[in-house]
Structure 1
Amino acid sequence: MTPTEIRRTPADPAQPPPANAGELLRRLYACRGQMESESDLGLAGLAPYQSLAGLDQAVALLAAAVRAGDVILVIGDYDADGATGSALAVLGLRALGATSVSYLVPSRFAFGYGLSPAVVDAAAALKPGLLMTVDNGIAGIAGVERANALGIPVLITDHHQAGDSLPAAAAIVNPNQPGCAFPSKHLAGVGVVFYCLVALRAQLRAEGWFSAARPEPNLAEFLDLVALGTVADVVTLDHNNRILVEQGLRRIRAGRCRPGIRALLQVAGRDPTRVTATDLGFQVGPRLNAAGRLTEMTLGVECLLCDEPATALDLASQLDGLNRERREIEVTMREQAETLVERITSRGDDLPPGLCLYGKGWHQGVSGIVAARIRERYHRPVIAFADADDGFLRGSARSVDGFNIRDAIDLVDRRRPGLIERFGGHAMAAGLTLRPESLVDFRLAFREAVREQLGDAPAVRELRSDGELPARLLNLETAEVLRLGGPWGKGFPEPLFDGEFEVIQARVLKERHLKLRLKPERGPMLDAIGFGLGERLALASGCVRLAYRLDVNEYRGERTPQLILEHLQSTT
């Protein structure tokens, strides 16, 4: 395991410790560049849609299709961002007056990722007047060529990095395409769809489209979908995304959310009135993603589209069952991946700065999670490969902060033309396809690309701490304030504290998780849980230094403060 170092955010030495939870929250915001005047996160603070390149052309296409009653076919992706974006596009366009909107989410197993010619052929059978991609398409050059040949216009909405060439689509809306001046480059795919709908509504309003018989919709009512997709896709929560997520969370807490989201929270055992971004990211998102990982995302999209609570709960229960199955597969694959890494070190070799792992029989829908787990443990970029049904290898790549893994794959592709069949993604996550006989050469080329940026050994894993939390603030009130003080996430991290505690009791739960009873230097005893830290049981005695988050534990109707451990080290 990579060595870990806890580093505190520098504090003003003249500033006394925070007196209460509210003052603590204000200081945490300030450390993250958030001014108090911005903290209401109202919709008025959103970046205007007018600066999105390609939006005028997109709106013209959509408005014409809506007025003519043409079939608009949404082509989504098979992850939570793609599912929420697809549901949003369908619901939003229908609310705006479109009479014929449907969707197609290609199976990752039958079609792979993105707008390929095969996907276009499958879509053409539905006789669409317009194809609208969601969370994909920016790399679909061949797919757009096929659509153009069939006479089907394509509107691409995406947020992934663009390559050197863009598809010849009728319109492209992507904040990361060259020449786009939109200030927030971190929109998720579902966020891009939301902006397209807002712009379309403005155009239709100007045309006099809405009336008493066709009322203008409040698109903010769909922000629960935007919040879920944004958090689940782990995009950076800049100010713009924080507004979208916070507004969505407020609607969920107020009971104004899709029945499918409410049902997913129910099967996850989460109270909608207290929902946080963490709940969306770690409880709802994985259950939604399970459909795309193990079968097809149609089940997930149908859950989000469903208006009937009982049916939504049935669909959510099916997704929960798939997620349990996914966990079992993940455990087996993760253990095998750990063995592969251990074999490298057991031979006396240094662990390379970038890891390419392949296991016979691995499930390609779960390989991305395994790559993330190995990345977290060894603090290295990781690509996990699995056999695809078409005879190729599909790789899921996950990166560490400061290393753009999509650009690294692109560098390998430029240096070794033909080695990679296709690829796409962004800085922290990417996907690629190889011929099996190319794996050895790709592994060497990838290691070299990583080594050029990170050196032979990645840096020590750093945990950035907000400092020591005074014992008087280790209470339920502070935990509640922090829990609802977000939304926290990538780029606006949930508060992490560190300090020394005396271990009163330590045990391992479910063979993996570390459960502690702790005594701070001054203050009442606390419970703590370290997920996946069971291997550190031997260190959990006497006085220890912990990096932790303060959270609320709910058990049998009782709410108590609890520490969620990120790291434990002995002080003796």
Structure 2
Amino acid sequence: MPALLRRIYASRGAHDITAAQPKLAQLLPPDTLSNIDAATELLADAIASGERILVVGDFDCDGATACAVAVRGLRMLGARDVVHAVPNRVTHGYGLSPALVETLAPLSPALLVTVDHGIACHAGIAAARALGWRVLVTDHHLPGDVLPPADAIVNPNLPGDAFPSKVLAGVGVIFYVLMALRARLRVQGDARATDADLGSLLDLVAVGTVADLVPLDANNRALVSAGLRRLRARRGCAGLHALIEIAGREAARLTAADIGFAIGPRINAAGRLEDMAIGIECLLSDDGVHARGLADTLHRINAERRAVQQSMLDDAEAAVAAQVPVDPAGAGVCLFDADWHPGVVGLVASKMKDTLHRPVIAFAPAEPGSPQLRGSARSIPGLHIRDVLAAVDVAHPGLIERFGGHAMAAGLSLQHDRLAAFTAAFAAAVERMLDPALLRAEILTDGPLRGEEFDIAHAAHLRDAGPWGQGFPEPLFDGEFAVVDWRVVGSRHLKLTLRLDGHARPLSAIHFGGWREIAPAARERLVYRLAPDDYRGGDAVQLVVEHREPLPTA
């Protein structure tokens, strides 16, 4: 291991190879999860009785992969009658709603299992139980003050839960439930449980975990690393390999970044613009030809999503330029357009949060012409966005119809005629709860690279040393360079030829989206990643620029 990598690992709290690259043998056991025994008893009884189990997913990548893991895993463990469903964003809204329960009533399950949602679905769970269904909630979102009336709830964020890691994704929670179920069935002497290889589901666990942007603590890194190994060895499910191929990625060198920027968005696109049932079907398919056809559909939907997103971003940037002061003194920002699509507001909020370095909520009509708005919130480090929404809800009862989420992302719904009141209440809550010092954007780097470290060996080590992600960030470096040459690539990207002081060899760099119709300065300070240059191949490397600042000339 090169000294550079040892230094990077240590700065992230990993001082030996065991901590830096945790293995499956180091996974936390499931027995400290609250209600895990009650959950596995519900599932084991349904399997033993041959009863119908209905898995209800969510319309994002975490929810889709969690649904696929639940269906595949339960069948692997002997369940003979497993069906699945997912809400339609426009028709049913988020999670297990009474409207969704009404739609699912003809399926008549004995047991309904939620994955990646349910902790805030009080009315839907009550409706399901009124039909005589048992309900198991598996979720990772933060609970409210009152828990829903489910038969059992498994969520590492429940009050008093002793599970050491609180950052499992929804797909991680259901995977843990399946591990505990397999252990229970093995004790009962079930031969199918003895032979069940739940490790075959880790490709899906990895994709859902990375796509949901949960922190990659040691436990999550062990899960993601194992899933990436399966995908690199082409032992993943047919749907994921079809998506890898259509995204133009090389399976043998797949990274967490490839999941985050290429695979996850294609799955997410189905839930944003159409029906996540397409994405789940792709992940459940074992037929390569069928999976490729579904991947083609997801690829097309994602291209449409990108066009819609760019149009909405243009609108948002124009609105901000016209209405938001340069320094709003800590106020949160709310954006709304009657023509926006509710499935893409989260992406708009995320982009504008990065641009403004302010917490942002983007709203759109729940459906065209609807008086109900769907909002998606994104926050900056140091401000727990769900806590902000909870504070608004306490101070202004009834203003928000429903909300839920995490520290950095949340969702909510309210009526259009309440938007102005909410905007004021949100800004006031943010100003009250946010330290103004946090409004100054910072980029944390791993410092400069030495001249001899700009080589393919170090670039390959950095690429393969992950998985990198939230809480275990991909290495970023900074330094001052002379700009020898530059050109625009496409319409938005900037290709640079650089020189490091004291080193004659020129360096190739690319700044995606970096062309702002202003020529680079003769000398610039850059924040960048070092990566193999797959386009040129061989020993070529390039700097992938994340940020540029001009330096004054002497």
Q: Same fold (TM over 0.5)?
A: yes
In structure 2, the CA distance between the partners of 1:97 and 1:135, relative to structure 1 (3 Å rule), is same
Q: Give the structure 2 partner of residue 361 of structure 1.
A: 339
User: Are residues 1:84 and 2:65 paired?
Assistant: yes
Q: Give the structure 1 partner of residue 469 of structure 2.
A: 489
1:46-81 deviations in whole A, cap 9, x for unaligned?
111000001100000000011111111001100000
- Please, which moves more after superposition, 434-443 or 541-550? 541-550
CA contact (8 A) 2:381 2:438 kept: no
Q: Secondary structure at the match of 2:496?
A: strand
User: Are residues 1:282 and 2:261 paired?
Assistant: yes
What displacement does 1:558 show?
A: 5.2
In structure 2, the CA distance between the partners of 1:554 and 1:147, relative to structure 1 (3 Å rule), is same
Aligned counterparts, 1:27-176, within 5 A:
27-36=7-16, 37-176=18-157
CA contact (8 A) 2:329 2:431 kept: no
Q: Secondary structure at the match of 2:397?
A: coil
Q: Secondary structure at the match of 1:361?
A: coil
C-alpha distance in 2, partners of 1:340/1:486? 39
Q: Give the structure 1 partner of residue 420 of structure 2.
A: 440
Q: Give the structure 2 partner of residue 411 of structure 1.
A: 391
**AA at the equivalent of 1:225:** L
User: Are residues 1:344 and 2:323 paired?
Assistant: yes
**AA at the equivalent of 1:22:** P
Q: Give the structure 1 partner of residue 486 of structure 2.
A: 506
What displacement does 1:527 show?
A: 1.8
What displacement does 1:541 show?
A: 2.4
**AA at the equivalent of 1:544:** E
User: Are residues 1:378 and 2:359 paired?
Assistant: no
Q: Secondary structure at the match of 1:124?
A: helix
**AA at the equivalent of 2:261:** F
Q: Give the structure 1 partner of residue 431 of structure 2.
A: 451
What displacement does 1:297 show?
A: 0.4
Q: Give the structure 1 partner of residue 295 of structure 2.
A: 316
What displacement does 1:471 show?
A: 1.2
CA contact (8 A) 1:536 1:568 kept: no
**AA at the equivalent of 2:471:** G
Unaligned runs of 5+ in 2: none
What displacement does 1:345 show?
A: 4.6
What displacement does 1:35 show?
A: 2.4
User: Are residues 1:225 and 2:204 paired?
Assistant: yes
In structure 2, the CA distance between the partners of 1:209 and 1:303, relative to structure 1 (3 Å rule), is same
Q: Give the structure 1 partner of residue 174 of structure 2.
A: 193
1:153-200 deviations in whole A, cap 9, x for unaligned?
100000000000001100000001111110000000000010000000
C-alpha distance in 1, partners of 2:187/2:126? 33
1:120-177 deviations in whole A, cap 9, x for unaligned?
2222221111000000000011111111211111000000000000011000000011
C-alpha distance in 2, partners of 1:35/1:455? 32
1:494-535 deviations in whole A, cap 9, x for unaligned?
001000111112233333222211112215222212222222
Percent identical residues: 51
What displacement does 1:477 show?
A: 1.3
1:203-241 deviations in whole A, cap 9, x for unaligned?
111111116xx8621111110000000000000001100
Q: Secondary structure at the match of 2:530?
A: strand
Tell me the TM-score normalized by structure 2.
0.96
Q: Secondary structure at the match of 1:63?
A: helix
C-alpha distance in 2, partners of 1:556/1:472? 20
What displacement does 1:100 show?
A: 0.7
What displacement does 1:40 show?
A: 4.0
Q: Secondary structure at the match of 1:394?
A: strand
C-alpha distance in 2, partners of 1:421/1:559? 56
**AA at the equivalent of 1:442:** F
C-alpha distance in 1, partners of 2:199/2:145? 35
User: Are residues 1:271 and 2:250 paired?
Assistant: yes
Q: Secondary structure at the match of 2:195?
A: coil
CA contact (8 A) 2:403 2:413 kept: yes
Q: Give the structure 1 partner of residue 226 of structure 2.
A: 247
CA contact (8 A) 2:521 2:551 kept: no
How many residue pairs match? The answer is 548
C-alpha distance in 2, partners of 1:537/1:34? 41
CA contact (8 A) 1:507 1:537 kept: no
Of the three residues 441, 446, 465, the one matched with 1:466 is: 446
CA contact (8 A) 1:495 1:549 kept: yes
**AA at the equivalent of 1:478:** H
What displacement does 1:114 show?
A: 1.4
Q: Secondary structure at the match of 2:262?
A: helix
Q: Give the structure 1 partner of residue 550 of structure 2.
A: 570
**AA at the equivalent of 2:410:** A
Q: Give the structure 2 partner of residue 14 of structure 1.
A: none
Tell me the TM-score normalized by structure 1.
0.93
C-alpha distance in 1, partners of 2:402/2:113? 22
Q: Give the structure 1 partner of residue 195 of structure 2.
A: 216
What displacement does 1:350 show?
A: 4.1
C-alpha distance in 2, partners of 1:215/1:240? 24
C-alpha distance in 2, partners of 1:358/1:523? 52
Of the three residues 530, 533, 541, the one matched with 2:514 is: 533
**AA at the equivalent of 1:176:** N
What displacement does 1:536 show?
A: 7.1
1:341-365 deviations in whole A, cap 9, x for unaligned?
001257x884762110001210111
CA contact (8 A) 2:238 2:288 kept: yes
C-alpha distance in 1, partners of 2:40/2:10? 39
Cα RMSD for the two superposed structures? 1.6
User: Are residues 1:261 and 2:240 paired?
Assistant: yes
What displacement does 1:552 show?
A: 2.1
In structure 2, the CA distance between the partners of 1:351 and 1:269, relative to structure 1 (3 Å rule), is farther
C-alpha distance in 2, partners of 1:556/1:261? 27
Q: Secondary structure at the match of 2:196?
A: coil
CA contact (8 A) 1:138 1:166 kept: yes
Q: Which structure has the higher relative contact order (CA within 8 Å, separation 6+)?
A: 1
Unaligned runs of 5+ in 1: 1-20
